[in-house]
Amino acid sequence: MGTLCEKYGGWALVTGGSQGIGKGFARRLAAEGFDVVLTARRQEILDATALELREEFGVQTRTLALDMTQGGAIEQIFEAVKDLEIGFLVNNVAFSKPAPFLDLSSGNISKQVYVNVEIVAQLSSHFGRQMRERDRGAIINVSSRTGEIAMPYFAMYCATKSFISILTESLWFELKNTQVDVLVVKPDQTATEGYLAKNPTIWGDAGIQTVEECIEESISALGTYAGWLTWPKSRDDVAELRAMPLEEAITRNGEGMLSVFTEQLGAG
């Protein structure tokens, strides 16, 4: 069937693309022949990732360093790629803070809505319209397993991730009779730099999924499913939670959050 680049065309745009799951997608898409636009906050890490892609895969790259919690980020992205055909969009950037909801500042709440809701919606709309007009392209929005069942002490984040899931799954149906493939992926514990820095040893009995495993699960699901939990254990866990009375499922999630994030929550 050829490469993903041959199928979808154009450049790939990956937000939060310098590390972790975003970098995993960037590497996978570069291996498929896509030239890649990367956005993230720190220019030096963006430059290192872009150099790695060019040297290893022989593709073109562009980088855009910006703090996506600040207003105007959406417009800066549109301006930076206005001369490119974006054939593959990965909305990976996210902003979060584990804390009791009532302890979050109003500024933190606003930033989570802007990064996790508005940016994802606006980029999906803007580039999705272009893909629909060309009748080819792909959108992968990165949600989270935490968006499946209410998650105490992560309420704002999991609510925004639930938004991403519902939005993307709805868009999947609206475009399913076109050549534009849409998928929301829902990772669980994944061995990214950020996750390992916050939780170096406390993963629970189940272990942790590698970034590469997460990406391969995602690419395999694209074009078939509307939404996909990327870790097989997550699929079992979520099915079990959904079979419970809602209050029992929420209680289990809340107790799990306390055990995993005790140090962070205690630090405020």
Tokens of 134: 């060309």
- Sheet of strand 180-186: strand arrangement: 61-65, 36-40, 11-15, 86-91, 137-142, 180-186, 227-229
Residues annotated as catalytic (active site), given as ranges = 157
Q: Say how far apart CA 61 and CA 54 lie, in whole Å.
A: 7
